[in-house]
Chains A and B, each alone.
Chain A
């Protein structure tokens, strides 16, 4: 097979030309990452440091009758043991800023250390501080916990039954109509979104396809496990070093959970070995802080892989039903979807986002979507790249493919004629601004893969699938402080944890605006005492929002340079022009570097700064093409070729955009084909290791071809759209559609593991 292995194709839908943006400089953190000099959380070691460990529940659902820590406390080398009693009473408070503000704090607190009941296998119950990790581990064995084991409920369809065991006895459904249920249940919340007249729309349809889909629980699979070191000083100042997607988020959570003044909490973000949404909340940080307060020593804690899989926040399993009505010429008349996602042991799944993404690629005049947030005896779930969208659009894109097959309509043409575009509806949102779904679909249609017929092989079942994906992107708040040094270089402090190479993309925007080489900018991810408020690294927001703060900070610095030069040159400030990094007026001129030197002599050191909460995030679309080969004896699916097309708005640093696209595909392929939490009937997680939780390796995926489409976001001065999340959305549907093309079998559960594919093939036969 002749495969075009190109990476780096960009299709521009704008005429802007930049000097720095769109180039491929050496990344600022590259050398220290590849030489091992970069410092991660586990590299922190403080004088007098003790080590913390966590006791976890062996049961999925149980009442804690008693906890006796006396034997553990008596062990030589043990310095402290804490249970949930160490936390302040959260009362009726709600969580503050961060990823999901507005949820009851009592749930977050109880997820730190179980309060009265355990809600899932691996739920933290107690924490120990000891002289070394081995003594701490021994001490855990000496904590005596008496449980009253209860029946677990593991799947949303079981948890929603009227006679299901109720996990949280005072949880009353927040109903879509604003009322609250009178009886407790496992359904934390209902949602309803509607546009047009869905019944009339289905009445107009010539064809209605109505299908159900189910999903296993999937982990984000970051390589670096959670870790935290905390030192609570005698004056009340709390210093924390951790692996997190948001230092300010951790600071807020610590303030909420520990009822401690935020000004006394200082969080240092270390380099992070992956997060993907799984490191947007605290787990170890509050425990390390409380143990430090109790012992007076710094406390270092780290999870092992089993802890991570059992007790951090994977993304939900659940159920999605999608019903679509179309005319015989392939125009969508109506859509209905019903989504029930498992929140895990406490409320707050990502079902709302899934509801709003399920039909996002299409202009649908009539639609109704219902959502249910359901508590089950599994870990409290969290975001995973484009949270909720992958589930939802796996279902809708599979139904779209079935419609195309039934009506014998080309799947690209169907999507083009129904595509959402500027001014079209968004479910429960303002109409779309300028978006690039059509441009992505056209790029996919014209791609080398789509234009090359799938090569057949005797005795082989091969197929091709295509799917669209959408994710909103978010704004939130970001800050940048930039200091002009006397040699013209810039030290740029930003608050966004760098999980996707964003140091460089932020520095490039600053450099473009000020007119200096990006190599003259030294970007530093700063701690919570050193830079302004910066929200979590998530929602594909950093290059967009923190990049905007960098652009604004560069303009602020530029204004200060102009002011200084005006004084020096004795000219009016508004007579000074700035072009290509040079300031000019009245026969005088100075580059940024020269200006820095001149101003230094005058005692002027410009500091550009900005805090911004952008209001016009650009939604992102992607279209993926997958070629697969299905082994009809084993059910194994091999990916033969893969093309990812994505609207990046304007790609600030194309290698990172391509990296995000390829990484998203690899994670999507894992989700599609293998990854899944496996539980026994009692709710014990059976595959809490990366040997048994099967993530793709380099041997499982081909080279992933990328095509960046640039349809600028009108809400950003450089047209930036977030790129980090949407590439995980299309892969499962593209793979499922390819499997159908190869075998004639429709898959309706993720993952489409060999056993499930084999069973589906057998059933079809």
Chain B
């Protein structure tokens, strides 16, 4: 099962849990199952079938941006992070 790290402001949906474990072969599948398990959470992450603008997903330390098709390993660690720019 992938471990999903829940951004602080969204932990109300997970009853305060900072991490949850979810089955899923891709980032998209995990998000869909998050929504099923914690109603409202998936909608905070995805809009119109895409990761919300300004968010990036990190899978096992790799910044995969908004690529929801990214495949996960059984022990994958998944973070959703605000995208950064720079000067």
Given A177-B9, A352-B82, A429-B79, are A616 and B62 also a contact pair (CB < 8 Å)?
A: yes
Cβ 8 A contact of B63, one of A275, A276, A382, A616 = A616
Contacts of A366 in B (CB 8 A): none
Contact between B10 and A430, CB atoms less than 8 A apart? no
Contacts of A387 in B (CB 8 A): 85-87
Q: Which residue of B lies closest to A196 (CB)?
A: B18
Given A101-B54, A192-B8, are A429 and B81 also a contact pair (CB < 8 Å)?
A: yes
A615 → B minimal CB distance (Å): 4
Q: Cβ of A538 < 8 Å from any Cβ of B?
A: yes
Given A429-B79, A617-B63, are A192 and B9 also a contact pair (CB < 8 Å)?
A: yes
Q: Mask for A417-439, Cβ within 8 A of B = 1, else 0?
A: 00000000000111101000000
Report the stretch among A180-188, A447-455, A471-479, A560-568 that lies at the interface.
Answer: A471-479
Instruction: Mark out the residues of chain B between 51 and 86 whose CB falls within 8 Å of any chain A CB in the assembled complex.
Output: 52-54, 58, 60-65, 77, 79, 81-86
Contact between B53 and A102, CB atoms less than 8 A apart? yes
Given A102-B54, A193-B8, A430-B58, are A474 and B85 also a contact pair (CB < 8 Å)?
A: yes
In angstroms, Cα B84 to Cα A277, docked, is 13
Contacts of A280 in B (CB 8 A): 85, 87
Instruction: Mark out the residues of chain A between 312 and 364 whose CB falls within 8 Å of any chain B CB in the assembled complex.
Output: 315, 350, 352-353, 356
B23 → A minimal CB distance (Å): 20
Contacts of B64 in A (CB 8 A): 615
Q: Cβ of A464 < 8 Å from any Cβ of B?
A: no
Q: Cβ of A176 < 8 Å from any Cβ of B?
A: yes
Cβ 8 A contact of B61, one of A278, A428, A616 = A616
Contacts of A474 in B (CB 8 A): 84-86
In angstroms, Cα B60 to Cα A165, docked, is 46
Contacts of B85 in A (CB 8 A): 99-100, 280, 350, 353, 383, 387, 474, 536, 538-539
Contact between A220 and B87, CB atoms less than 8 A apart? yes
Contact between B8 and A475, CB atoms less than 8 A apart? no
Q: Cβ of A310 < 8 Å from any Cβ of B?
A: no
Contact between A276 and B84, CB atoms less than 8 A apart? no
Instruction: Mark out the residues of chain A between 670 and 725 whose CB falls within 8 Å of any chain B CB in the assembled complex.
Output: 715, 724-725
Interface residues on chain B, number (Cβ under 8 Å)? 27
Given A102-B52, A102-B54, A429-B58, are A383 and B44 also a contact pair (CB < 8 Å)?
A: no
Q: Cβ of B7 < 8 Å from any Cβ of A?
A: yes
Q: Mask for B33-65, Cβ within 8 A of A = 1, else 0?
A: 000000010001000000011100010111111
A-B contact count (CB 8 A): 100
Cβ 8 A contact of A101, one of B5, B53, B87 = B53
Contact between A472 and B9, CB atoms less than 8 A apart? no
Instruction: Mark out the residues of chain B between 1 and 45 whose CB falls within 8 Å of any chain A CB in the assembled complex.
Output: 5, 7-10, 12, 40, 44
A731 → B minimal CB distance (Å): 15
Given A474-B85, A539-B84, are A178 and B61 also a contact pair (CB < 8 Å)?
A: no
Contact between A428 and B7, CB atoms less than 8 A apart? yes
Given A101-B53, A176-B9, A178-B9, are A430 and B86 also a contact pair (CB < 8 Å)?
A: no
Contact between A430 and B87, CB atoms less than 8 A apart? no
Contact between A177 and B12, CB atoms less than 8 A apart? yes
Q: Which residue of A lies closest to B60 (CB)?
A: A430
Contact between B8 and A428, CB atoms less than 8 A apart? yes
Given A102-B52, A178-B44, are A540 and B9 also a contact pair (CB < 8 Å)?
A: no
Contacts of A394 in B (CB 8 A): none
Q: Mask for A161-202, Cβ within 8 A of B = 1, else 0?
A: 000000000000001111000000000000111100000000
Contact between A383 and B87, CB atoms less than 8 A apart? yes
Q: Which residue of A lies closest to B62 (CB)?
A: A615
Q: Cβ of A295 < 8 Å from any Cβ of B?
A: no
Q: Which residue of B lies closest to A715 (CB)?
A: B62
Output the residue of B10, B60, B81 with the most chain A CB within 10 A.
Answer: B81
Contact between A540 and B61, CB atoms less than 8 A apart? no
Contacts of B86 in A (CB 8 A): 277, 383, 386-387, 471-474, 538-541, 725
In angstroms, Cα B85 to Cα A315, docked, is 13
A274 → B minimal CB distance (Å): 11
Instruction: Mark out the residues of chain A between 595 and 621 whose CB falls within 8 Å of any chain B CB in the assembled complex.
Output: 613, 615-617
Q: Mask for A530-545, Cβ within 8 A of B = 1, else 0?
A: 0000001011110000
Contact between A430 and B8, CB atoms less than 8 A apart? no
B54 → A minimal CB distance (Å): 4
Contacts of A541 in B (CB 8 A): 86
A388 → B minimal CB distance (Å): 9
In angstroms, Cα B84 to Cα A617, docked, is 12
B81 → A minimal CB distance (Å): 6
Cβ 8 A contact of A428, one of B40, B77, B79, B87 = B79
In angstroms, Cα B56 to Cα A353, docked, is 14
B68 → A minimal CB distance (Å): 15
Output the residue of B8, B63, B85 with the most chain A CB within 10 A.
Answer: B85
Contacts of B10 in A (CB 8 A): 178
A36 → B minimal CB distance (Å): 28
Contacts of B44 in A (CB 8 A): 178
Contacts of A386 in B (CB 8 A): 86-87
Contact between A475 and B87, CB atoms less than 8 A apart? no
B64 → A minimal CB distance (Å): 6
Output the residue of A102, A430, A433, A715 with the most chain B CB within 10 A.
Answer: A430
Contact between A431 and B63, CB atoms less than 8 A apart? no
Contacts of A429 in B (CB 8 A): 58, 79, 81
Q: Which residue of B lies closest to A385 (CB)?
A: B87
Instruction: Mark out the residues of chain A between 140 and 170 whose CB falls within 8 Å of any chain B CB in the assembled complex.
Output: none
Q: Which residue of B lies closest to A190 (CB)?
A: B9
In angstroms, Cα B85 to Cα A353, docked, is 8
A86 → B minimal CB distance (Å): 27
Contacts of B40 in A (CB 8 A): 178
Contacts of B84 in A (CB 8 A): 352-353, 356, 472, 474, 539
A95 → B minimal CB distance (Å): 8
Contacts of A724 in B (CB 8 A): 87
Q: Which residue of A lies closest to B10 (CB)?
A: A178
Contacts of B63 in A (CB 8 A): 475, 615-617
Instruction: Mark out the residues of chain A between 88 and 108 whose CB falls within 8 Å of any chain B CB in the assembled complex.
Output: 94, 99-102
Of the A-B pairs whose beta carbons lie under 8 Å apart in the complex, a sample of 14, sorted by A's number, is A100-B54, A192-B8, A277-B86, A278-B87, A315-B87, A383-B85, A428-B81, A433-B61, A472-B86, A474-B86, A540-B86, A615-B64, A617-B63, A724-B87
- Which 9 pairs of residues, A with B, have the shortest CB-CB distance? A539-B86, A277-B87, A102-B53, A383-B87, A615-B62, A102-B54, A176-B9, A194-B8, A538-B86
18 further contact pairs, Cβ within 8 A, besides A178-B9, A387-B87, A538-B85: A101-B83, A102-B52, A176-B8, A176-B9, A191-B82, A193-B8, A275-B87, A278-B87, A280-B85, A353-B85, A430-B5, A431-B61, A474-B86, A475-B63, A536-B85, A539-B87, A613-B65, A615-B65
- Which B positions have Cβ atoms within 8 angstroms of A? 5, 7-10, 12, 40, 44, 52-54, 58, 60-65, 77, 79, 81-87
- Which A positions have Cβ atoms within 8 angstroms of B? 94, 99-102, 175-178, 191-194, 220, 275-278, 280, 315, 350, 352-353, 356, 382-387, 428-431, 433, 471-475, 536, 538-541, 613, 615-617, 715, 724-725
